[in-house]
Amino acid sequence: EYILYVGSLTERKNLLNVCKAYLQMQTEKRIPCVVIGNGGSYAAMLKKFVTDNKLEKSFIFLENISNLELVAFYKKALVFIYPSVYEGFGIPLLEAMACGLPVITTVETGGPDVITDGVEGFIIPSRSVEAIEEKIAWCYQHINILKQMGRAARCKAEQLTWGNYSQQLVAKVCGLLE
């Protein structure tokens, strides 16, 4: 069991703050964080931060995995973290929810459009190491509730189809034309 991040490894994804949150945690035993993605200098900087701060047991970096492997990682995770400081819409949010994962994300990811805070996951302020640490610590203490949140996330993801979206869009446009 682990916390999962999937996406590119760039500065706007804010993963350094996840590393800093782990560093601030007052516990020796930490749920590992699996980071799946590609990146150049930012990925190298993250790995150096992890090594310099002796967090190697807390972070696992993977890249270039197959879609089948990716689904397996989603299904075995406890929670998905997506702490971006800006994002058009983070598709990995929906992938995680479809696999039954609650999500920790920021207001800048599109998360508020698909997640009810405290139901399918958590919406946190961006750039807040403290908020990341607080939600990860909460997850440690409430693993049984995470499973309920994961079921709620899966149900929400099942409602977020293109068919439902187009029906809502048509209804909205018709409402504006009346």
Determine contact, residues 120/131, Cβ cutoff 8 Å.
Answer: no
Say whether pLDDT at 176 is over 70: yes
Report d(CA 144, CA 89) in Å as an integer. 29
What's the chain's average pLDDT?
92
Report d(CA 79, CA 114) in Å as an integer. 16
Question: pLDDT value at position 164?
Answer: 81
- Of the pLDDT bands very low, low, confident and very high (cuts 50, 70, 90), residue 94 is very high
Report the predicted TM-score, pTM, of the whole model to 2 decimal places: 0.89
- The pLDDT tens digits of the residues spanning 64-89 come to 899 999 999 999 999 999 999 998 88
Report d(CA 103, CA 92) in Å as an integer. 10
Nearest to 92 by CA among 108, 109, 78, 106: 109
Max CA separation in the chain (angstroms): 62
Report d(CA 17, CA 3) in Å as an integer. 14
Average pLDDT of the segment spanning 98-121:
94
Average pLDDT of the segment spanning 42-58:
95
- The pLDDT tens digits of the residues spanning 110-151 come to 899 999 999 999 999 989 999 999 999 999 899 999 999 999
